Amino acid sequence: MEALLAPFLTEPVGMVVAFVLTLMVFSYLLGDNPLFRLAQALFIGVGLGYGIVIVFHYVLIPRLSPLTTPWLLVGPPLLLGILLWFKLRPSWSRVGNVSVAFILGTGAALAIGGALFGTLVPQVRATLLSLDPADYPHVTGSNMAVDAGIIILGTVCALLSFYFRTPAPGRRVSLGAGLLRFAGRLGRYFIMVTFGALFANVVMSRISLLLGRIEFLMDTANVLLKWLGLG
Amino acid sequence: MIYCPKCGVPNLEDRKFCIQCGAALEPEKGQRCPMCGAINPPGNVFCDECQARLVPVFARPTGPLQMPPSLKGLSLPTKPVEEIEKTAPPPEPEIPETAPEPEASEVSKVSKEEEGEEGEEGEEEPGWLVSLRAKYGRAPAKAEEVVEETPAWLQELHEAPAEAAAPEAPDWLRELRRRAEEEVPAFEEKEKEEEKGAPPSGEEEEIPPWLAELRAEETREETAGIPSPAEAGETPPVEAPAEQEEVPDWLRSIREGGPPPEEAPPLAEAEEAAEELPDWLREIAPQAEEGIAVEEGEKEEEEVPPLIVPPAEAEEAAEELPDWLREIAPQAEEEIAVEEGEKEEEEEVPPLIVPPAEAEEAAEELPDWLREIAPPEEAPPAEVTSPAEAGVPEWLQGVTPGAEAPPPAEAEKEAPSWLQEISAVRETPVPEETAPAPEAEERMPSWLQELAPISEEAMPSAPPEEAPIPAEEGAEEGAAPAWLEELKTMEPAPFKEPPALAEAPAPPEEGVEEGVAEEIPPFPAGAEELAETTIPAWVMALRPPELEAGPAPSREEVIPEVMETSGLLAGIPGVLPAEPVIGVPHTLRPPTPMTVPGELALEAKLLGEVTAQERPPAVSIPKERGKRLMRQAGRLLLYLALIAAILIPYFFYTGLFEESVPPAPETEDFYRTIENLSPDSVVLVAFDYDPSLAAEMNLQAEALIHHLMKRGLKVMTISMYPSGPALAEDILRGAASVYGYQPAVDYINLGYLPNLPASLRAFAGLNPMASYTYEGTPASETPLGQRINRLSDFGLIVELAAGQDTLRWWIEQVGSRYPGLPMVAGVSASLDPYVRPYYETPGRRQLKGLLVGLPGAAQYEGLTGRTGRALDNLESQGLAHLTIVAVIVVGNIVYLVSRLGKGK
């Protein structure tokens, strides 16, 4: 079998196929066309198939193998997994509610716990910065203090920008409401700067990807030219 | 489907009227209202929909008879309760079949309405009135009520003869009572015979004497002209011997030709009047008593003895009767003939109308109460032939039209309140028609009002052209009371359905082909007098011309006959369901063109001209081909610019990014963290990205793996993306070949980990080696795998993330659980804003180091001393960034300039 597929398993063939598919995807720059759709469909199909194989080999087999998992630990999860299959039929879907409930419950607990102790608390703690330059290294003490101030101000204002309230009747606004309004407006500016930075990083990332594709095409072209004796 | 009996058009079963011609479809299950056409139950007197009268007044009810309420106000002498019970008359004969059913209910309804309208005054109903009412469908007044309000002098009529006459009761009244008792049995027998259907035998013998007298007078008149009163008086009636005593003085005087007797004192007059009461009138009183008995007892129907003298008897009695009374007899004879000739029907009471001349004479002797009944202005009676008006008793004088006003003093003293009410009726002019004046109706007692002519409602078919009763013609003064007028107009003819109903054809039977629409019934007589209204032209224009002429299409024209040719239904027409007919539109004829009047035609013409005008040539929108090409060209230029910026370093050396870029702090920390690991540390590298980001992440991964292997550190890789192990394997093999690493000894690819926080939590909680390697061997069985029992055995965790989820999961699920386990991350440039807070947490950083995109990889390569593709690609990256910046700047400048230009 491998001898039969050997010609197709060599790198040049793979490169050629990838080269062609890449050009087919790039054809979208000229508009939607069947080549692009073909490449897109192939990508989805191959990726899905590859994923199914990987899941089977690296998830089901290891989990069901007594070598890796004791049967006592396999039984309940396996039962829950089988019950989950009943979701395929609407009339029997109620049977799989137990599995869904288990999944939702554990997922929610892990997500909430992780967010709480992995993100919220550490990040809140991170905003407790000292504005005293002396608390920072001598060289960059003042800079660090300013950075700390900016971080605190930006964090607080960004959070206050998400504070929504109904405006009080009349034109007179209390001092507290005015401060909140100002802080929220300032926080929106910080958020806009963040979005700008985010956009720039996304552009850089995509350019890197383009760069990689072009580089691939260049390399493949060289290989093909050499293979064809033209290079 | 129901086929219209008129036009034959099929209609749905739930329809009541034909959709084509409007004829009734449903069979007459009840009675159809002549006004609105609604079907009413058989017992209805009034239509449930429009309250129109369904049954004429005189029609005998065929259904459950609802006794009309008793008249209030005036009431004639009634019997006591005991006597009424004793003298309960026999039930009325059977109602003929031709009589429509609604009559009873109709009459009863009318009676009920009238009773309700009149309120609850004192109800005094004489027996004769009760019998009249019962005969013609009127509910007799309750005997109890009547008895309660019966005047004393009236009640004395019912007292036993043995009882001493009250000083108040006149002799004539007593006589009336006595005769009533005697004659009731005879009359009951006669009624019984009539009910059985047998013609009354010995009719002549049973003819009341007064009737006999009438007939006798008639015959005498016919033979020898107007008989003299003497002759009239000489010829006694059949029962003359027995009734000579009963001949009233006025009648006797008529016969003898003498002057009427002088007015006697009230009592005397009353006594004399009682003696001189004609038999026909005498019988009324007993019938009233009978009626009361019926009411109190069983509420049976009573029949008023026909106050119509048979022809033979009438002739005899006519000789002795005054002219005014004689005129009634012929008419009565005619009525009798009609009755006898037809089925057993009721006999109507002739109008108790006295000729005016005679009435005046009779009025002198009439009691006051009765005198006041007859308004002098009512319709005149028959011809006045005899001047023997003086013979009319006072009590009867009031009945005669044109009679003088009765002695008000005496009459009013004796007349009860109910009678006084009638006096007001006399004063009001009564039209010639049978309908009493509304004012008179208001003053008249209820029982009189009930007898008021309601023929207009009850007799829809009664043409107004019918000749009035001859006896009424020529009346000059006065008019009969309302109840007399009504009796006069009552026709013995059976109830006839209105022309509309009568002409409505029955539903066609199967096989019967009918479809010709009947003609519209003629407009009632007298309609010619109506002024013809002018129909507006626009209305005329809307009238479809098809209605103007032409009969309705026959059924064959509308529905083609379809017959089955085989099967059980072969040859049977009209049995197939008219399914295709259902879809046939109501009007099978093509729509007729509407005649448009002149003004509208001009407007329509103008509108047509305007619409017919050629539309202005459509403004050709210039194709935006050029603009589209411009947009496409600009896009293409941008693409080309980017590609050129990327390819230029491949072909040309620019020297823009020749100097090494100082590494970022996070990159240095990343490098320093790895450098600070012990040589026997095992580093876990998570390849959490897919091939779509491999162009960026592979640069970091290659630099990392090379750095780790260069330091001699053991490497384990794992991925939460299905394609991650493959990418990891490719890089590991490449680096391993360089540094001589052995799989399963120096590095292990742990394969795929489900992309869930729970799986990561389980990986972190359980033995990480409880999985298979990428080659398919249990990781725990590998030499390197045996060194790891839990996650904390790793020296470093490197997260190469392309998505923020996996990075966060590693930090939250693993980093929070193992805070002492160092963790660094290499992320795509797009994740920098998301991941940097984890790095820039002062004190205890969650990420020890950070690689951000291609620049980070390039910096990292510079730190490791490795010349990799990241540095080569950095120039292209830089040129592409410059190109994009230039495009953005130029674009904004152009936008601002153009906006300023538009603003000017």
User: Could you give the ipTM of this predicted complex?
Assistant: 0.87
Confidence check: pLDDT of B820 > 70: yes
Q: How far is B830 from chain A (nearest CA, A)?
A: 4
Alpha helices in B652-689 (DSSP H): 665-675
Confidence check: pLDDT of B192 > 70: no
Mutate to test the interface with A, among B721, B775, B830 (most CBs of A within 10 A): B830
Confidence check: pLDDT of B260 > 60: no
Give the residue on A whose Cα is nearest the Cα of B882: A204
Rounded average pLDDT over B19-30: 75
The answer to whether the CB atoms of A210 and B639 lie below 8 A apart is: no
- Quick one: how far is CA A93 from the chain centroid? 31
Rounded average pLDDT over B433-459: 50
Q: Which residues form the domain of A145?
A: 129-163+177-230
Contacts of B729 in chain A (CB under 8 A): none
- Among the listed ranges B175-179, B256-260, B358-362, which one has the minimum average pLDDT value? B358-362
In a domain, A182, yes or no: yes
The per-residue pLDDT for B568 is: 77
Cβ contact B207:B312 at 8 Å? yes
Q: How far is A150 from chain B (nearest CA, A)?
A: 13
Give the residue on A whose Cα is nearest the Cα of B761: A110
* Mean of all residue pLDDT scores within chain A: 84
Asked if the C-beta of B878 comes within 8 angstroms of chain A's C-beta atoms, the answer is: no
Of the pLDDT bands very low, low, confident and very high (cuts 50, 70, 90), residue A16 is confident
Q: Which chain B residues in 821-860 lie under 8 Å from chain A, judged by CB atoms?
A: 828-833, 837-838, 840-844, 846, 852-855
CB-defined contacts A:B, below 8 A: 157
More confident residue, B383 or B648: B648
Q: How far is B880 from chain A (nearest CA, A)?
A: 7
More confident residue, B307 or B690: B690
More confident residue, B297 or A192: A192
Cβ contact B521:B503 at 8 Å? yes
Tokens for B14, please give them.
Answer: 């739930």
CA nearest B815: which of A124, A117, A125, A127?
Answer: A117
Mutate to test the interface with B, among A28, A69, A207, A213 (most CBs of B within 10 A): A207
The per-residue pLDDT for B427 is: 52
The answer to whether the CB atoms of A211 and B692 lie below 8 A apart is: no
Close Cβ partners of B393 (under 8 Å, ≥ 6 residues apart): B172, B248, B249, B250, B269, B272, B273, B276, B277, B362, B364, B365, B366, B367
Of the pLDDT bands very low, low, confident and very high (cuts 50, 70, 90), residue B292 is very low
Of the pLDDT bands very low, low, confident and very high (cuts 50, 70, 90), residue B305 is very low
More confident residue, B264 or A140: A140
The per-residue pLDDT for B402 is: 44
Of the pLDDT bands very low, low, confident and very high (cuts 50, 70, 90), residue A135 is confident
What whole-number distance in Å separates Cα of residue B733 and Cα of residue B897? 57
Confidence check: pLDDT of B344 > 90: no
* Mean of all residue pLDDT scores within chain B: 67
The answer to whether the CB atoms of B692 and A210 lie below 8 A apart is: no
The per-residue pLDDT for B755 is: 78
The answer to whether the CB atoms of A215 and B873 lie below 8 A apart is: yes
Tokens for B430, please give them.
Answer: 């009564």
Rounded average pLDDT over B514-540: 63
In a domain, A190, yes or no: yes
Which residue is associated with the tokens 């009512």?
A: B378
The answer to whether the CB atoms of A204 and B722 lie below 8 A apart is: no
Confidence check: pLDDT of A121 > 80: yes
- Smallest Cβ–Cβ distance between B873 and the set A57, A125, A211 belongs to A211
The per-residue pLDDT for B540 is: 77
Q: How far is A66 from chain B (nearest CA, A)?
A: 10
- Among the listed ranges A115-124, A191-200, B385-394, which one has the minimum average pLDDT value? B385-394
The answer to whether the CB atoms of B884 and A203 lie below 8 A apart is: yes
- Smallest Cβ–Cβ distance between B833 and the set A62, A201, A211 belongs to A201
More confident residue, B434 or B619: B619
Confidence check: pLDDT of B288 > 80: no
Name the DSSP class of A120.
I
Q: What distances in angstroms separate CA B773 from CA B731, B733, B749, B806, one per listed residue? A: 16, 14, 5, 21
B323-351 as b/e: b if 16+ CB within 10 A:
bbbbbbbbbbbebbebbbeeebbbbbbbb
Close Cβ partners of B251 (under 8 Å, ≥ 6 residues apart): B213, B233, B276, B278, B320, B321, B322, B391
Asked if the C-beta of B756 comes within 8 angstroms of chain A's C-beta atoms, the answer is: yes
Of the pLDDT bands very low, low, confident and very high (cuts 50, 70, 90), residue B285 is low
Confidence check: pLDDT of B401 > 60: no
Which SS3 state, helix, strand or coil, does residue B747 take?
Answer: strand
Confidence check: pLDDT of B347 > 60: no
Close Cβ partners of B589 (under 8 Å, ≥ 6 residues apart): B546, B553
Confidence check: pLDDT of A100 > 90: yes
The per-residue pLDDT for B196 is: 52
Confidence check: pLDDT of A107 > 60: yes
In a domain, A149, yes or no: yes
- Among the listed ranges A199-203, B149-153, B313-317, which one has the minimum average pLDDT value? B313-317
The per-residue pLDDT for B763 is: 87
More confident residue, B151 or B568: B568
More confident residue, A210 or B367: A210
Torsion angles phi and psi, residue A23, rounded to 5: -65, -35
Of the pLDDT bands very low, low, confident and very high (cuts 50, 70, 90), residue B4 is confident
Count up the domains in chain A and report the number.
Answer: 1
In a domain, A15, yes or no: no
Of the pLDDT bands very low, low, confident and very high (cuts 50, 70, 90), residue B137 is low
**Where does B598-681 show beta strands of DSSP type E?**
none
Mutate to test the interface with B, among A99, A211, A218 (most CBs of B within 10 A): A211
The per-residue pLDDT for B825 is: 94
Of the pLDDT bands very low, low, confident and very high (cuts 50, 70, 90), residue A149 is confident
Q: How far is B837 from chain A (nearest CA, A)?
A: 7
The per-residue pLDDT for B404 is: 44
Contacts of A216 in chain B (CB under 8 A): 695
Alpha helices in B385-515 (DSSP H): 394-397, 408-414, 417-427, 438-443, 446-450, 455-458, 482-489, 499-503
pLDDT digits (tens, 9 = 90+) for B569-611: 777 777 665 555 555 556 556 666 777 777 888 888 888 888 8
The per-residue pLDDT for B456 is: 45
The per-residue pLDDT for B749 is: 92
The per-residue pLDDT for A231 is: 64
In a domain, A42, yes or no: no
Confidence check: pLDDT of B197 > 70: no
The per-residue pLDDT for B538 is: 80
In a domain, A36, yes or no: no
What whole-number distance in Å separates Cα of residue B10 and Cα of residue B477? 61
The answer to whether the CB atoms of A68 and B771 lie below 8 A apart is: yes
Give the residue on B whose Cα is nearest the Cα of A67: B778
In a domain, A59, yes or no: no
- Among the listed ranges B32-46, B238-252, B586-600, which one has the minimum average pLDDT value? B238-252
In a domain, A13, yes or no: no
The per-residue pLDDT for B406 is: 43
pLDDT digits (tens, 9 = 90+) for B626-673: 777 777 788 888 888 888 888 888 887 777 766 656 788 899 999 999
Of the pLDDT bands very low, low, confident and very high (cuts 50, 70, 90), residue B433 is very low
Burial class (CB in 10 A: 0-12, 13-18, 19+), B109: buried
The answer to whether the CB atoms of B832 and A201 lie below 8 A apart is: yes
The answer to whether the CB atoms of B754 and A59 lie below 8 A apart is: yes
The answer to whether the CB atoms of A51 and B723 lie below 8 A apart is: yes
- Among the listed ranges A58-62, A206-210, B701-705, which one has the minimum average pLDDT value? A58-62
Q: What distances in angstroms separate CA B422 from CA B73, B143, B587, B748, one per listed residue? A: 9, 21, 61, 130
